[in-house]
Amino acid sequence: MLEIRNLHASAGEKPILRGISLSVNAGEVHAVMGPNGSGKSTLAQVLAGHPAYEVTAGEVYYEGENLLEMDPEVRAQKGLFMAFQYPVEIPGVSNAYFLRSAYNELRKARGEEEVDPLDFLEIMERKLEVVHMSDDMLQRSVNTGFSGGEKKRNEILQMAVLDPKLAILDETDSGLDIDALRIVAEGVNAMRRSDNATIVVTHYQRLLNYIVPDFVHVLANGRIVKSGGKELAFELEAKGYDWVSEPAKA
Amino acid sequence: MATTTSTYREQFKSFARSVAKDSPDWLNTLRQCAVDRFEAVGFPTTKNEDWHFTSVAPIAEAAYPPRVEPGANTRPADLAPFTFGATDWPTIVLVNGVFSAELSSLEALPHGVRIYPLASAWRANDPFVERYLSRFADYELNAFTALNSAFIHDGAVVQIAKEFEVERPIHVLYVFDPIAAKTQINPRTLIAAERQSKATVIESYVSTGEASYFTNAVTEVLLEDGANLSHIKIQRESPRALHVGTIEVEQKRDSHYQSFSFATGATLSRTNVYTTLDGDGAGATLNGLYMLDGEQHGDHQTKIEHAQPNCFSRELYKGVLDGASHGVFNGKVYVHPIAQKTDGKQTNNVLLLSERAQVDTKPQLEIFADDVKCTHGATVGRIDQNALFYMKSRGVNRDLARRLLTYAFAAEVLETIEVDAVRERLERAALERFTGVDAGLGVG
């Protein structure tokens, strides 16, 4: 589904990703872990197409197509979704309107008919249950005045509505209490299927108790320094990141 | 400019000849004094502080002759886009500056409301019109008001009787069709809300075509003690029109004037909203939204005179500028020495959608009392790139994302419009404003 080869990316002049290679197949959950500044969030943002990062070398193929040539909206329309670490507040645009616009854009891209507000409301009612949210949040402006936990749950709600093939969760666990963490994880698990895949970017092993990965990759200094099964996460939790990090280059 | 004023002098002579015998003496005198004043001052130049950012040379150069004779090509169906889907609002329609009985709906007016065309009022020497016309709009200080006053002909008079609350909005609808091409129209509106009355008046300037013409409107408004008037001005003139519109308001004790100015039309427009808080405890809320693109130039000047103590004023103007448009906002607040406990707040926020769009925003506070609270703030920003990326990452294409963000910016001030039908239509207009050829330009 996703094939990353020797990916290099920088923010301005500063190189952050320095040769990432990673394959993700349908049905798999990959965890990308690493200390602060290792580049794990940058990897998520580059895959989503954030304009602040420039890819300087390497290739990314998504379902056989060159992902890096696609605009962010095209990536989304083709089934890629990133749950933001810091979801953006959009005062004045209601959650319902925003979600319906996004949902219909995806349908249009697939050559399907748009759904009207009433039909969409029905779809939403079911999805809201997944993340334990009440429907009054639909009329609130996107993320505006939401608590940290509400914002993260809203990300998972969007993911549930848009039903991506490849979901990337960028530190979705940060700032969540244990109850919210459980709700978010249950939401993600409910969406796991053999025809989709998830990349979980996280600093802590905690989330992986709930979303159990098939593979764990450790990033340091913009490279994957170690890959393994889910037991690698426990090892990291016990020993810390120094154990796997290669020394920074001078 | 000398050529222009003498051109108008010739036009005035023939106009005066045609209307003098039907007009009461006081009106002939008013017209004569006003034309003398206009001839003395001429059109303002950019050396005039009030016109520093707006050149009216296109108006002076066009020198369109004033139009007073009837002549229209507007059918009832042509008004549909401008009536907010309402069918039961008292509506007075003037096409190309002249009252149209056929298009107006003035039957079964609510109790306590009088609405009638200005021309028939002065022909009948209506005492109300004699008493109030030109009492609030000062032609000594404003050349465009002088020009309008010189050519006073038709317009609308709206009276709300004391202690009446009018539920349905009253619509004063000025329509310009292709027959208005290359002429100047001087609509005059007089609105009086008597003591303790409450009403909403919508004043629209709209076009059914794309003709170039010059609208030079003056609206005089009186709020007596305790009156509450919501006054929504809609300027959606033809894209080639020139529009100068001046609203002058006098407010008595404990009255509340709520103004909204919505301006998206005309190639060159200037809207003046001036109010004098001339009674203890009066309040004014002046809000507005201007949305411009292409080569449009749109200017708003507001002036709030705090002439008595314990008055408040609130002001929120928002501008959205695309293409190579130029927006101007000048907000004056003048606090007289006697006006203690004045509470004033003014905000102007501008969203620039294009690198080529330009804005000049100038708050102007002159405070001569010592116990007052007056604040002002202005911001000029661009589309939030994080929000844009966020929306795109959900599959929303760039144009729609930009439109949604623009709409969200505008919605904050549109929300202050209390008439649902008007607010909803204007919100839709805001959402659809930038879908034209210029929509692809700008930030990215």
Residue numbers of the domain that contains B24: 2-279
- On the CB side of B191, CA atoms within 13 Å amount to 31
Q: Is the pLDDT of residue B301 over 90?
A: yes
Average pLDDT score over chain B: 93
Farthest CA pair distance, chain A: 60
Kindly state the average pLDDT of the residues B289-315. 97
pLDDT, residue A243, reads 75
| Count of CB atoms situated within 10 Å of the CB of B251 | 29
Contact B393, A155 (CB under 8 A): no
Q: Provide the pLDDT confidence category of residue B442 given band limits of 50, 70 and 90.
A: very low
**Burial of A73 (C-beta count, 10 Å sphere; 0-12/13-18/19+):** buried
Q: Which of B:396-435 have CB within 8 Å of A?
A: 396-398, 400-401, 404-405, 407-409, 411-412
Residue of A nearest to B444 (CA): A51
What would the pLDDT profile of A120-176 be if each residue is shown by its tens digit?
A: 999 898 889 888 888 888 889 999 999 888 899 999 999 999 999 999 999 998 888
Q: How confident is the model at residue B330 (pLDDT cuts 50, 70, 90)?
A: very high
Fill in the amino acid letter for B262: F
Residue of A45, A46, A53, A73 for testing the chain B interface, max B β-carbons within 10 Å: A73
> Each residue of B383-418: pLDDT tens digit?
989 999 999 999 999 888 988 899 889 988 999 999
**For A200, phi and psi rounded to 5 degrees?**
-105, 115
Distance separating alpha carbons of residues B250 and B221, to the nearest angstrom: 6
Task: Give domain status of residue B310, yes or no.
Answer: no
Average pLDDT over residues A76-101: 93
Residue B432, pLDDT score: 80
Q: Name which of B385, B389, B395 is nearest A102 (Cβ-Cβ).
A: B395
A87 close contact with B: CB closer than 8 A: yes
Give the C-alpha separation, B288 to B302, whole Å. Answer: 10
pLDDT digits (tens, 9 = 90+) for B251-289: 999 999 999 999 999 999 999 999 999 999 999 999 999
Which has the higher per-residue pLDDT, A37 or B334? B334
Query: Which tops the pLDDT comparison, B2 or A182?
Result: A182
pLDDT above 70 as % of chain A: 98
Contacting residues of A for B384, CB less than 8 Å apart: 88
Pick from A160, A87, A9, A156: which is nearest to B391 by CA? A87
Residue B397 lies in a domain: no
Amino acid identity, residue B188?
R
> Given an 8 Å threshold on Cβ–Cβ distance, is B395 in contact with A162?
yes
User: For residue B393, is it left (φ>0), alpha (ψ between -120 and 50) or beta?
Assistant: alpha
Per-residue pLDDT tens over the stretch B103-135: 999 998 999 999 999 999 999 999 999 999 999
Is the model more confident about A186 or about B171? B171
pLDDT grade for B435, boundaries at 50, 70 and 90: low
Looking at the predicted structure, is the pLDDT value of residue A249 above 50?
A: no
What pTM was estimated for this model as a whole?
0.85
Residue B196 in this model has a pLDDT that exceeds 70: yes
- Under an 8 A CB cutoff, do B397 and A48 touch? no
One-letter amino acid of B403: R
DSSP designation for B36: H
* Closest listed residue to residue B330, CA positions, set B306, B287, B361, B308: B361
Total domain count for chain B? 1
Euclidean distance between CA atoms B24 and B15, whole angstroms: 15
Tokens in use for B373?
Answer: 């609270």
Q: What is the pLDDT of residue B181?
A: 96
Percent of chain B past pLDDT 90, that is, above it, reads: 86
DSSP A115: P
DSSP code at position A137: G
Please indicate, yes or no, if residue B79 is contained in any of the structural domains: yes
Whether residue B49 is contained in a domain is answered as yes
Count CB neighbours of A57 within 10 A.
Answer: 14
The overall average pLDDT reported for chain A is: 91
pLDDT of A246:
56
The pLDDT value recorded for residue B331 is 96
pLDDT of residue A174: 85
* A250 pLDDT higher than 50: no
Asked if A82 and B385 come within 8 Å (Cβ–Cβ), the reply is no
| Nearest one of A166, A215, A165, A205 to A185, comparing CA atoms | A205
Average pLDDT, integer, range A16-35:
95
- Mean pLDDT to the nearest integer, A64-75: 96
pLDDT of residue A245: 65
Q: Is residue B308 part of a domain?
A: no
Backbone angles phi, psi at A35, to 5 degrees: -70, 170
**Cα angle at A80 between A78 and A83, to 5 degrees?**
150
The DSSP line for B343-387 is EEEEEEEEEE-STT-EEEEEEEEEE--SS-EEEEEEEEEE--HHH
Mean pLDDT within B348-357: 95
Calculate mean pLDDT across residues A13-26: 95
Strand partners, A100: none
Q: How far is A143 from chain B (nearest CA, A)?
A: 11
Q: Is A112 on the interface with B (CB under 8 A)?
A: no
Domain range list for chain A: 2-239
Eight-state DSSP code of residue B23 = S
CATH no., domain A2-239: 3.40.50.300
User: Quick one: tokens of B279?
Assistant: 């009674």
Name A55's bridge partners.
A9
Cβ-defined contact of A101 to B400 (cutoff 8 Å)? yes
